[in-house]
Chain A
Amino acid sequence: MSKLRETLEAGAFPVVVELKPPKGAAVEAMLAAVKSLAGRVTAFSIPDNEHAKMRLSAIAAARLVQETGGEALVHVTCRDRNRLALESDLLGAAVLGLENLLLVSGDYVTLGDHPQAKPVYDADSVQLLQIAAGLMDGHDSAGLALKGSPAFFLGAVVIPEAEPLSPQLLKFEKKLAAGAQFFITPPVFDLDKLRRFREHLPETPVKLLASVKVLGADEVAQAAAGPWRKVYSLPPELVHDLAGKEPEDILALGVEAAGRLVKAIRQEKLADGIYLKAKGRADLFTRILEGF
């Protein structure tokens, strides 16, 4: 059983940090982060061509993370593969020792750095969860028997601040029915919104990792300049406090804010664990981890 699953099931508040696979073959910086943090975090999350921007294969990066002494949580997006590729990559992940999966639809190609690429979406995230659950049961999506079933810990995304919320809750319930064992939220800055969302969670206990993010200067400038087009809100006072400051000062203040948020989420039991996003930088993660 993966450490992430064990820690979640034990109620021991796992900490997942998100790394950035390189755009290229230089993996040293990513793996240095793993070396410096391995004893202090539960798992390292590896996005799969995040924001539709081409980077090193998430499965390859995740395997390297595990060889370096960390546990990986590997994302698999429906955007770039048809069902054959999804299934064979999931099996590939399993035989490489990757158990924790985050199965997502994936940001659309035109939002990324290969806008002319063909978007696939042969499966959606619900169907991909079903596919992975099917593989665990010993069959592929065509119903054909497998020789040896993989073991996965299946994660999915849920959007607590979705507007309107009802269609997202419908999808959330479908993800649960399809086999999701834990959920990860987008970054949370406003705990009231997370509190309100928790009222909608079903009776069945659901493991939830809340994301806490350190904003970069680019994001602060974007939020200060005009409409903020993200699925999470930023408190206006936060944007006001950060706007116009030096990039490193913004990160430092972001680290402090992240520490406070994690503490509050943990104390109030608003989530079962935390998912940290801080530009994949080990120094920022270390400073946040020191804060709680």
Chain B
Amino acid sequence: MIIAERKPFAEIKAMLAPYKKILIVGCGTCVAVCLAGGEKEVGLLASQLRLALGLEDKRLEIGEITVERQCDLEFLRPLCDFTADYDAIVSMACGAGVQFLNQLCSLHPVFPAVNTSFIGVNNAVGHYTEACRACHHCYLGITGGICPVTMCPKGLLNGPCGGTLNGHCEVDPEKDCAWSRIYHRLELEGRLDNIKEILPLHPHDRTTTPGTVIHPAYKRRYGPHE
């Protein structure tokens, strides 16, 4: 899932200073799980704003709503009519949701309330770690299910760097060296031959942004037309 962190309150408050009536839109999927932008966090942000502005004798009218997924038109479209009465919209979704909302509600400024961090996993409540760089070229089948692109800060494809120490990473000694993990996993599985050949340079052409994926079944509908 997408992991995000809420922006500092002062930054959000400053962005909203010119407006009198705002709508805070939460997202009920990834950012709700990582406690950054779900329904509960929408309520918290609204309360914080009311309290802070109240102390300054300022008035801000705040609407609150949370949709299932801001990255999905099906859930976002019904919101459009609802936004007309507001001066500005605050999205608590990841960057994808913010931009999709911005695209649909073109008459209002849309502000992000979170910083999108990475694609990661939920280790335990409140503890998330990055697990995928969305590189378009998955190596997990040959690297024992451990991603060298993500788990090695240098993204090295052909073994550990010279800085690895006692199986730990040069960059963060608290973390395991990805290549030590890959090696030992493949050794356990009897698949070390997988990594004996030199992997070629990574094909970065697919990582040119913004990426597009069209499901094969929909190529005729969305693909290039002759």
Contact B180 A164 (CB under 8 A): yes
Q: Mark B32-63, 1 if CB is under 8 A from A, else 0.
A: 00000000000000000000000000000000
A130 within 8 A of B: yes
Q: Mark A23-39, 1 if CB is under 8 A from B, else 0.
A: 00000000000000000
Residues A127 and B171 in contact in the complex (CB < 8 Å), given A164-B183, A170-B183, A231-B165: no
B166 within 8 A of A: yes
Q: Chain A contacts of B204 at CB under 8 A?
A: 122
CA distance A280 to B165 in the complex (A): 26
A155 within 8 A of B: no
B117 within 8 A of A: no
Q: Chain A contacts of B180 at CB under 8 A?
A: 164, 167
Cross-interface CB contact of A167 among B153, B173, B179, B200, cutoff 8 Å: B179
A246 to chain B, nearest CB (A): 30
Q: Chain B contacts of A147 at CB under 8 A?
A: none
B138 to chain A, nearest CB (A): 18
Contact B183 A141 (CB under 8 A): no
Q: Chain A contacts of B28 at CB under 8 A?
A: none
Residue of A nearest to B154 (CB): A121
Contact B158 A124 (CB under 8 A): yes
B150 to chain A, nearest CB (A): 13
B148 to chain A, nearest CB (A): 9
Residues A163 and B165 in contact in the complex (CB < 8 Å), given A127-B201, A177-B198: yes
Contact B171 A110 (CB under 8 A): yes
Residue of A nearest to B187 (CB): A166
Q: Chain B contacts of A216 at CB under 8 A?
A: none
Count contacts on A: residues with CB < 8 A to the other chain: 37
A225 within 8 A of B: no
A154 to chain B, nearest CB (A): 15
Contact B154 A162 (CB under 8 A): no
Contact A127 B162 (CB under 8 A): no
Q: Chain A contacts of B166 at CB under 8 A?
A: 163
Cross-interface CB contact of B201 among A83, A173, A186, cutoff 8 Å: A83
Q: Which of A7-15, A100-108, A261-269 contacts the other chain?
A: A100-108
Cross-interface CB contact of A107 among B160, B163, B187, cutoff 8 Å: B163
CA distance A105 to B162 in the complex (A): 8
Residue of A nearest to B195 (CB): A170
CA distance A79 to B179 in the complex (A): 18
A189 to chain B, nearest CB (A): 16
A81 to chain B, nearest CB (A): 13
Contact A124 B160 (CB under 8 A): no
A111 within 8 A of B: yes
Contact B162 A231 (CB under 8 A): yes
Residues A127 and B200 in contact in the complex (CB < 8 Å), given A159-B162, A168-B160, A170-B183: yes
A61 within 8 A of B: no
Q: Mark A176-189, 1 if CB is under 8 A from B, else 0.
A: 01100000001000
A117 to chain B, nearest CB (A): 13
B196 within 8 A of A: yes
B120 within 8 A of A: no
B206 to chain A, nearest CB (A): 14
Contact A167 B183 (CB under 8 A): yes
User: Using a CB-CB cutoff of 8 Å, which residues 159-189 of chain B contact chain A?
Assistant: 159-167, 170-171, 173, 177, 179-180, 182-184, 187
User: Using a CB-CB cutoff of 8 Å, which residues 41-94 of chain B contact chain A?
Assistant: none
Contact B163 A231 (CB under 8 A): yes
Q: Chain B contacts of A104 at CB under 8 A?
A: 162
Q: State the 3 A-B residue pairs at the shortest beta-carbon distance, nearest first.
A: A171-B159, A126-B158, A167-B183
Given A125-B161, A127-B157: 18 more A-B contacts, CB < 8 Å: A122-B204, A124-B154, A124-B161, A130-B198, A162-B160, A163-B165, A163-B167, A164-B167, A164-B183, A167-B177, A167-B183, A170-B192, A171-B159, A173-B196, A186-B162, A229-B165, A229-B173, A231-B163
